[in-house]
Structures are given as C-alpha cells and as structure tokens.
Amino acid sequence: MIENYDIELEMRKFISPEFVFGIDSRFKAANFCKKLGARKIFLATDSRILKTFWFVEILTSLQKIGLEYTIFSAISPNPRDFEVMAGSEIYKQEKCNLILAVGGGSVVDCAKGVGIVVSNLQHIRNFEGVDMFTNPIPPMVCVPSTAGASSDVSQFAIINNFEGKYKMVLISKALVPDVSILDPLVLTTKDSYLTACNGMNALSHAIEAYVSSAASEFNNLHALEAIRLINNNFVQCLSDLNNLQFRAKMMLASLYAGLAFSNASLGCVHSMSHSLGGFLDLSHGECNAILLPHVVDFNFSSASYKYRKIAEVLNLNTLNSNDSEVKQKLINYLLNLKEKVNIKTSLKTKGVSSDLIPTLASNAINDPCNATNPRPPKRKDLETIFTQAM
C-alpha cells in the first residue's frame, strides 16, 4: 500500500530504557536490582511515599532476596542542588553501587543528580546543559509513582539551583535509567490535585514534543497516542481515582509522552515553567497548565498543520474551520480542561507580580527547551506570554 503522506527524511534517533508495565510489576524491582549487580542500593524516595503500603512491599521484596539498601528521602518537590549533594555524600559513605528511585519526577531527577555527582566527583552545578559529564551514572532502576513527569524514561534531569533561583536542565543519553517499572497500582495513593497536575504535565509533554522542531515519526506516534489517551481518560480518572483502568491508561499516556519528549525535547511551556518553578518554587504541572494555552497561541502560526492534527486527535470539529478558528478551538479546549480538572489558578494567584516578569523571562530564555520550540522565542516574546498568562 502506498502511503498518502511524506515521512520525515532527516536523520533521527530514538532512545528508550527497558520498561515493564502492569499491575504488581513493582515486585520486579528487587530482581532487576539483583540482575544489575546491586551490592548496596541507594534508595531515593520522599517522605510521603515512605508511608504507602506499596513502598513497604518493595522494601520487603528487597529484604526477601537479601539486598541491602539505604533510604534517602530528604527530597523536595523541585529538588534542590544541595539535596543532590547531600544524597551523594550518603551514597559514598554507605558504599552504594546502584540507584533505585521510587517516586515522582522530583525523586527521579534528584536520584539522577546523585548518579552524576558520584560518578563525576564534582558539584552538580558543574553539569548543567547538554552532555556536560563524561562518566556514566551507576545502574539505575525506577518505580515512578506519578503519571506525568516521565523522568524514569527520559534523558532529562531538572535540578533547582537554589542560590540562583532557577532550574538547571541537564540532558544526556547517559541519564536514561536502565529499567523503569510502571505499576499503575501505585498511582491509586495519589490525591486528586496531584493527579490533575501530573496529567497536565503529561499533556504538555505530548503537545510540545509533537510540535517540536526535532520531532520524528517515532515520537509523533507516541505523542499523538498520549494525547488521545489523555483526552479519553484524564477527566474520568479524576472522578474515579481508584479505577485501575483509568490509572493505567494515564500511566501509559505519561510513558508515551515521556518517550516522545525525551527524544524530541520540549518548548516554551517548559522553559517558562522551569523559570517559574525555580524562582517561586511553584508546582511544575500547575505552571504548565497555566502556560500551555498561551504558548499554543504564540506558536500556532509556525506549526499550524501540527496543531490541526492535535485538534483532530482531541475530536474537535475542524473540518470546515480555518486556521484561526482551529487555534481558538484548541485554546478553548485547553482552558476548559484546566477548569474541568480543577486547576483554577493563574500566575497572579500563584504570587507572580508584573515586576517579576523581566527576571522570569531572562531566566526562561536561557533554558535549552526553547531550542526546539517551533517558533524561536525572543526574551520579549516570553515576557508577553507571561503577561498574558497573569
């Protein structure tokens, strides 16, 4: 059969870790650690996860096969550089040789930071940027506890430079964990608001990866399927948080969106969200939910056929609509979705004042995520988007 569209002929690659998906897959974590040669495990997590029944089950499964571990749980949302350094000291003192990260994006990112520091023996701040370290991180297994961040399958780590009040973006193929174990059951201990923020993060990943200037056939496939799954299951999941089908479909969406953005990178939603999160310690998913419609407005003319495709996947009626009508339908969809999932905040209610906007835009313009935004932004453009999102 002859296809009726042209495919991308530019060279593209696709990187993914080994992953296991399914109910009760969390019990596989211990065996993967053993197979990867664990003598002593550096187990990164956070204080909330420590109390969950499924985390205790993971500990029991490690104990059953005689694996030693040390737990490091002093990790904040928007993980800080000094937390990475504290974790690295513990890793060295305890003579660990493998990382098991059990948690959301903050835990996984902090654990990746620890991996960089213990292998490269310098402060984490020296490794900001793309391919800035030479020695690979130790073997790493992840059990993600959220459906959104997808750091467990990505080449990214985001660490807050606490003194500089901005988020450092670290990107390297060497930051892709060895194994990710995606068990939808662990999501059932997440509350409604966190689930909403994570879902908006996953949707932002999928949309930004799909319109990215580094997009390829491989990640388009994953990005569009992630968007379809989110459209069909996100709101339903929030009204039935213990429903494993909805949870599994959102976890699958997050996985696909993660694979897409790990390979195609992101755009202005993320550069601006990193700036906000670093300066004001705001929730990443919440920032994305606020910024996404405004970035669509800014980008639309530079990738209109892609945004039209997104609108189609979202079942918006685009048949007889011109570009400007499709753009408005898409923006309205995103604004309505934000309301439906009960994210009612704006930048103003999050404490952003207009005098902060030049600083936020200056920090955002240095973020590597801008490089693949379909419309290359200038600092002034980011100021305008921030102002519109107030």
Interacting residues with Fe ion (CB under 5 A) = 201
Q: Give Rg (Cα) of the chain.
A: 20
Q: Is the Cβ of residue 153 or residue 326 nearer to Fe ion in the bound state?
A: 153
What DSSP letter does each residue of 150-182 carry, written as one string? -GGGSSEEEEEETTTTEEEEEE-GGGS-SEEEE
Inter-axis angle of helices 192-211 and 244-264, nearest 10: 40
Coil, helix or strand for 3? coil
Report in angstroms how near the CB of residue 205 gets to Fe ion at its nearest. Answer: 6
Q: How far apart are CA 156 and CA 264, in angstroms?
A: 12
Report in angstroms how near the CB of residue 320 gets to Fe ion at its nearest. Answer: 35
Report in angstroms how near the CB of residue 284 gets to Fe ion at its nearest. Answer: 6
Q: Is the Cβ of residue 160 or residue 201 nearer to Fe ion in the bound state?
A: 201
Report in angstroms how near the CB of residue 97 gets to Fe ion at its nearest. Answer: 30
Give the residue among 287, 286, 280, 298 at the shortest CA–CA distance from 353. 280
Q: Is the Cβ of residue 91 or residue 261 nearer to Fe ion in the bound state?
A: 261
Element (H, E) at 103: strand 98-103
For the beta carbon of residue 125, count every other beta carbon within 10 angstroms.
15
Report in angstroms how near the CB of residue 148 gets to Fe ion at its nearest. Answer: 7
Give the residue among 108, 80, 241 at the shortest CA–CA distance from 179. 108
Q: How far apart are CA 73 and CA 57, in angstroms?
A: 17
Q: Is the Cβ of residue 201 or residue 216 nearer to Fe ion in the bound state?
A: 201
Q: How far apart are CA 381 and CA 374, in angstroms?
A: 13
Q: Is the Cβ of residue 104 or residue 184 nearer to Fe ion in the bound state?
A: 104
Query: Are 206 and 228 a contacting pair, CB within 8 Å?
Result: no
Biggest distance spanned by C-alpha atoms of the chain: 65
Report in angstroms how near the CB of residue 145 gets to Fe ion at its nearest. Answer: 16
Report in angstroms how near the CB of residue 264 gets to Fe ion at its nearest. Answer: 13
Report in angstroms how near the CB of residue 270 gets to Fe ion at its nearest. Answer: 6
Q: How far apart are CA 147 and CA 20, in angstroms?
A: 15
Q: Is the Cβ of residue 116 or residue 272 nearer to Fe ion in the bound state?
A: 272
Query: Are 57 and 26 a contacting pair, CB within 8 Å?
Result: yes
- Residue of minimal CB distance from Fe ion? 201
Report in angstroms how near the CB of residue 201 gets to Fe ion at its nearest. Answer: 5
Q: How far apart are CA 354 and CA 368, in angstroms?
A: 24
Report in angstroms how near the CB of residue 258 gets to Fe ion at its nearest. Answer: 9
56 CB-near residues (< 8 Å, 6+ apart): none
Q: Is the Cβ of residue 80 or residue 329 nearer to Fe ion in the bound state?
A: 80
Q: Is the Cβ of residue 17 or residue 139 nearer to Fe ion in the bound state?
A: 17
Q: Is the Cβ of residue 106 or residue 201 nearer to Fe ion in the bound state?
A: 201
Q: Is the Cβ of residue 98 or residue 295 nearer to Fe ion in the bound state?
A: 295
Helical ranges in the chain per DSSP H: 29-35, 47-50, 53-64, 81-93, 105-120, 192-211, 217-238, 244-264, 268-280, 284-299, 304-313, 323-340, 357-365, 379-388
